[in-house]
Amino acid sequence: MHLYRYTISKISLQLFMLKDPNLVKYSNKVVRSAQRLSLLEQRIVFSAIAQVPLGTEITSEDKFYLRLEDLKKLGGAVSNDSYELLKEAADRLLTRTITLAPIDRKKGMTWTFLWCQASGYNDEKRMIGIQFSSMIIPFLKEVRERFVQYDLEEITGFRSVYTQPLYARLMLHMRNKDTGGIKQRWSETIPLDELRLTLDAEKYSAFGQFKLRVLNVAVQQINESVYTRFTVKWSIDEDSKIGKRVTAIRFSMSLRPHLVTDPEPDTDTVDWVSGLTRRQATLTEPQIVMVADWLSGKNKTVLEKHGTNVSEVYEFLRRQKQIPAKLDANNPDEYKKWLRKKLIDPEFVMLISPILRKLEFNFGGL
């Protein structure tokens, strides 16, 4: 039996999930670590993570269930025999281990423990289940300021085991630290050894093979997908080369055009209509999810508490000519997904500020 490890040096593993059936959120420290799972195992784990709602107390008794159809939505598990492959992948998760060093600071101990403690299946319903190990539960409960968060839809169709880890890694510096807004362009130079470790591609020690089988494939899949938020270009970092040896890769990311807002936003000038600055109208990721929950009716309590409802919110947006013709507002998940994308734009937040003020939303301390 081979034991595969997540190796994370001098850090602790933190995962945190929001109340959204399609949203995956976890610490950027995990993104920097080696994620040594097969493509199908990745999809099982991340689909399970996305089921955990905000504020829920996770215990080692909790079980997470996935049907074959759930995995098909991600572009995998498509053949007639895929259910058997799904069961096999769930069983293999029982052998996957995590190494954290050191988490026992007093004794300087490095601990290795299993990712999952149990897996199950139901042939009639074509469904599998997994149960996270008791040792990982404390890390599932931890919350940190910095995290990577994306919709499961964004990794739809990724066919290489290297694409999702690279996509998540390149998101680390996507947001402006001062405003919280998403940058139109950003870049990062990553040491080649670190990149190999993160992508679990250390077997490709020769750069030519790494370029051909890992880098080009993953970047191409990110760029060709209609669901990803940004496109990627890469180049060899010439300044860090040692002779002819490549030691670092420079990545340049560009936000997709339909997500670009003001090219040079004035963050501190007050908009005379909404009374907000762009800085105040730029929501963080947790705020975006929370507000989308409110407005879509996923969390009706807040709307009802303030004397309004989903229909009134929808009518307001319709009068403002914000509702696209193809949007099915009767589908809560589709409606919420649309709202999440709109709430990235500070201009949209300014537009709906009367609703948000009625709901007592806190605009940066106002």
CATH of the domain at 112: 1.10.10.10
Within a domain: 271: no
Q: Are residues 180 and 306 in the same domain?
A: no
Within a domain: 114: yes
Q: Are residues 239 and 353 in the same domain?
A: no
How far is Cα 64 from Cα 72, in angstroms, rounded to an integer?
17
Q: Is the predicted pLDDT of residue 291 greater than 60, yes or no? A: yes
Alpha helices in 237-352 (DSSP H): 278-281, 285-296, 300-305, 310-319, 332-342, 346-351
CB–CB of 229/240 below 8 Å? no
pTM, 2 dp: 0.52
Within a domain: 265: no
pLDDT tens digits, one per residue of 137-156:
766 554 323 344 556 677 77
Residue of 94, 72, 92, 95 lying closest to 82 (CA atoms): 72
Query: What would the DSSP string read from start to end of 68-129?
Result: HHHHHTTT---STTHHHHHHHHHHHGGG-EEEEEEEETTTTEEEEEESEEEEEEETTTTEEE
Q: Name the residue range of residue 43's domain.
A: 5-148
Q: Are residues 100 and 183 in the same domain?
A: no
Per-residue pLDDT band for 117 (boundaries 50, 70, 90) equals: very high
Domain final position from 91, 125, 148: 148
Q: Are residues 9 and 113 in the same domain?
A: yes
Q: Are residues 174 and 49 in the same domain?
A: no
pLDDT value at residue 139: 62
Within a domain: 48: yes
Within a domain: 269: no
Residues 193, 26, 6: CA angle, nearest 5 degrees: 40
Q: Is the predicted pLDDT of residue 78 greater than 60, yes or no? A: no
pLDDT tens digits, one per residue of 304-340:
888 888 889 888 888 888 888 888 778 888 888 888 8
Domain final position from 123, 148, 173: 148
Per-residue pLDDT band for 75 (boundaries 50, 70, 90) equals: low
Q: Are residues 167 and 129 in the same domain?
A: no
pLDDT tens digits, one per residue of 179-213:
667 788 889 999 998 888 878 888 999 999 999 99
Q: Are residues 64 and 132 in the same domain?
A: yes
Within a domain: 154: no
Domain final position from 90, 119, 148: 148
Q: Are residues 182 and 290 in the same domain?
A: no
Q: Are residues 127 and 198 in the same domain?
A: no
Within a domain: 366: no
Q: Is the predicted pLDDT of residue 29 greater than 50, yes or no? A: no
Within a domain: 155: no
pLDDT value at residue 55: 58
3 state DSSP class of 256: coil
Q: Are residues 21 and 143 in the same domain?
A: yes
Q: Are residues 192 and 110 in the same domain?
A: no
In the chain, DSSP finds a helix count (H) and a strand count (E) of: 16, 11
Q: Are residues 101 and 12 in the same domain?
A: yes
How many structural domains are present in the chain?
3
